[in-house]
């Protein structure tokens, strides 16, 4: 059980970057992506009715859910400083939700930032399943499993243009699985707005 103390709370810089990027995506009309808050249960409340201690209740979904250019997407943002992504950072309910989401035609992935390398990757759900669900005896996903084609480009912008990389994943996924268009709606892969870099300020 994870506890939260108001005096010691510090948000993840990586998540803050993702949140700011999502705000910019929405301003530019490229996507609408919402952060799903984790429910908390208060344990201590001070005399001014402020919550000073609480514990995080387990979520049934992932960190982010939204839509980009007509494509439903969901993902969890993970940050690790090692040369692998430990399974301790991944929860069974998240993987189960992502698979259910993908079964309905959505795009599900992990957005993983390696602090040691200062690199951010889109990790496909298929790769996650391969290591987390099928890789018996493993305790992490190695850095070598991350596809260099799904490395989020550092274009010098203060924002993280991860959706351009997510679209690369979508195209690779459709090519390998020969997927039909979602719900019969043609996904316009040539729409210039979908691969447009975020503005730099």
pLDDT tens string 42-72: 556 667 666 555 544 555 579 999 999 999 9
Residue 175 φ/ψ, nearest 5 degrees: -70, -40
Q: Is the pLDDT of residue 5 over 90?
A: no
Helix (H, G, I), strand (E, B) or coil at 102: helix
Q: What pLDDT, on a 0 to 100 scale, did the predictor assign at position 15? A: 92
63 in Cβ contact with 15 (< 8 Å): yes
Helix (H, G, I), strand (E, B) or coil at 179: coil
**Within a domain: 197:** no
Q: What pLDDT, on a 0 to 100 scale, did the predictor assign at position 183? A: 46
Torsion of CA 89, 97, 22, 14, to 10 degrees: 0
Token pair belonging to 71? 């494509």
**Within a domain: 159:** yes
**Within a domain: 157:** yes
The structural domain count of the chain equals 1
**Within a domain: 30:** yes
- 3-class secondary structure per residue, 24-47: HHHHCCCEEEEECCCCEEEEEECC
The share of the chain scoring above pLDDT 70, in percent, equals 70
Q: How does the average pLDDT of the chain come out, rounded? A: 80
Distance CA 106, CA 188 (A): 16
Q: Give the model confidence (pLDDT) of 102-139 as tens digits.
A: 999 999 999 999 999 999 999 999 999 999 987 667 89
Distance CA 117, CA 119 (A): 5
As beta bridge partners, residue 51 has 45
**Within a domain: 139:** yes
Q: Residue 178's Cα: distance from chain center in Å?
A: 24
DSSP 149: G
Q: How many CA atoms lie within 13 A of 114 on its CB side?
A: 19
Q: Is the pLDDT of residue 178 over 90?
A: no
179 in Cβ contact with 173 (< 8 Å): yes
**Within a domain: 151:** yes
**Within a domain: 200:** no
**Within a domain: 192:** no
CATH number for the domain spanning 19: value is 3.40.1350.10
Q: What is the span of the domain harbouring residue 127?
A: 11-37+59-184
């Amino acid at each position: 059980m994870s506890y939260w103390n108001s005096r010691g709370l510090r948000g993840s810089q990586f998540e803050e970057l993702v949140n700011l990027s999502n705000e910019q995506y929405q301003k530019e009309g490229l996507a609408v992506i919402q952060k799903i808050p984790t429910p908390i249960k208060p344990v201590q409340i001070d005399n001014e009715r402020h919550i000073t201690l609480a514990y995080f209740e387990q979520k049934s979904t992932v960190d982010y859910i939204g839509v980009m250019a007509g494509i439903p997407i969901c993902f969890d943002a993970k940050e690790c400083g090692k040369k692998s992504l430990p399974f301790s950072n991944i929860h069974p309910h998240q993987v189960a939700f992502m698979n259910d989401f993908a079964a309905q035609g959505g795009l599900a992935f992990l957005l993983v930032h390696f602090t040691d390398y200062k690199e951010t990757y889109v990790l496909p759900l298929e790769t996650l399943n391969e290591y987390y669900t099928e890789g018996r005896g493993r305790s992490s996903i190695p850095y070598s499993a991350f596809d260099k084609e799904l490395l989020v480009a550092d274009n010098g912008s203060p924002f993280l243009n991860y959706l351009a990389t997510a679209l690369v994943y979508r195209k690779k996924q459709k090519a390998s699985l020969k997927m039909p268009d979602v719900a019969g709606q043609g996904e316009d892969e040539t729409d210039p707005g979908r691969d447009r870099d975020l503005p730099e300020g």
